[in-house]
Structure formats: structure tokens, C-alpha cells
Amino acid sequence: MGKRKKQAKVLRIFRKVHRTTGALLFIFFFFISVSGLILGWKKNSNGYILPKTQKGTTANLKEWLPVDSLHTIALNTINKKVPGTSFEVDRIDIRKEKGAVKFLFVDSFYEVQLDGANGNVLSIGTRRSDFLENVHDGSILDEYLGTNGYVKLIYTSVMGVSLLIFTITGFWLWYGPKRMRKAGKA
């Protein structure tokens, strides 16, 4: 088999792999690309995707209330906002330079921002970005199926390898014909 025929055969194989992978994983690539695009804009969404971090009165931690007091204020605040719901704090995000502390909750996409020094409520917001991150990395499937991180691990591995395959086969689909034309002229 001649060199040109070998190149054409490799090109056909790459085209088939590229097309098949794209067809099989289309819906996943769609969700990853849309969620990634939106997440890229989260800090520029005027607080719609991710609430803006508000500014408290001081960045001096010595003047701040104890974290357990701030925690109590945050829980009371969210329970007034959404009565009848049990909220558990997922994480506490201290923004020292802004003088603010954010309380983010498990099983919801709410956050409560407080002034670290006096405990005043600066903001109660919905973190739509957290939902989008769960869609983007496959965590939403894990939560739905209750698989303790295994679906997410498989999902990110398959999608990462697929993106690598797309990159390699896509490059070859672009470069292969150029190489064949160049070889044909020689």
C-alpha cells in the first residue's frame, strides 16, 4: 500500500472516530459547553448567577464577632427567608478584605452575607453558579443517583478523554489533507 493510501486510510479512521464520539457524547458536550460559557460570566452577571460580594464595615478581624455568633445570625436569617426548611451550613467563606462573611448551605443554593464586625445582613442571594457547576462537572448526576462521587469521576474521565480524542482527530482532519496535498506535489 502506498504512502498516500495509508494517509487516506488513517484520515478515514480519524473521521469515523471523530464523528462517532461526537454523536455519542453530543448531549454531554452541549451541557458542558453551555454551563462553562455561563460560568465564565458569573462574576459579570450583575449578581444574577453569583451574588456580588458585599462590603462590611472593617477588615480587622479583631473587631469581628465570633464565628459561632455569625453562624447563628446566618441560620436565623435563612430560616426567616425560607421558613419550614432545615438548613445546614456547607461552608463559610470569609472575605477579610471586604469585611464580609458568606454562609453557604447544603441542599440549597442560598447564601447569606453578613458584616463580620456587627453581624448585619448584607445580602441574601441565590447561587445559581453552584447549580451550574454541578451540571458542568457531573455532580448533579452523582447527587441524583446517590453514587458518592463515582459517576462524577467516570463522567469527568470520559469527557476529558473524549475532548482529547476530539482535539487529536480534529487536528488530523485539518492537517491530514494538507499533508496529503503536499505529498502529492512532491
Express each pLDDT in 18-73 by its tens digit. 888 888 889 999 999 999 999 999 999 999 999 999 999 999 999 999 999 999 99
For 45, the grid coordinates are: 452577571
Tell whether the model's pLDDT for residue 147 goes beyond 70.
Answer: yes
Chain centroid to CA 79: 27
- Mean pLDDT for 10-19 is 86
In DSSP terms, 101 is beta-bridged to: 94, 114
- Block residue for cell numbers 453557604: 104
Tell whether the model's pLDDT for residue 6 goes beyond 90.
Answer: no
Select the CATH number that applies to the domain covering 51-126 from these four: 3.10.450, 1.10.238, 3.40.50, 1.10.10: 3.10.450
Tell whether the model's pLDDT for residue 181 goes beyond 80.
Answer: no
Kindly report the average pLDDT of the chain as a whole number. Answer: 90
Residue 83's pLDDT band (cuts 50, 70, 90): confident
With DSSP H G I counted as helix, E B as strand and the rest as coil, what are the percentages for the chain, rounded to 5? Answer: 60, 15, 25
Tell whether the model's pLDDT for residue 180 goes beyond 80.
Answer: no
Whether the Cβ atoms of residue 105 and residue 5 lie closer than 8 Å to each other: no
Domain assignments of the chain as residue spans, ordered by start = 1-48+148-186, 51-126
Residue 182's pLDDT band (cuts 50, 70, 90): confident
**pLDDT of the residue at 186:** 61
Residue 1's pLDDT band (cuts 50, 70, 90): low
Q: Which residue has the higher pLDDT, 2 or 87?
A: 87
- Mean pLDDT for 142-164 is 91
Tell whether the model's pLDDT for residue 84 goes beyond 90.
Answer: no
Tell whether the model's pLDDT for residue 106 goes beyond 90.
Answer: no
Q: Which residue has the higher pLDDT, 70 or 177?
A: 70
- The set of residues, in sequence order, having a beta carbon less than 8 Å from that of 51 and lying 6+ positions away, is 111, 113, 123, 125, 126, 127
Instruction: Kindly report the pTM of this predicted structure.
Output: 0.77
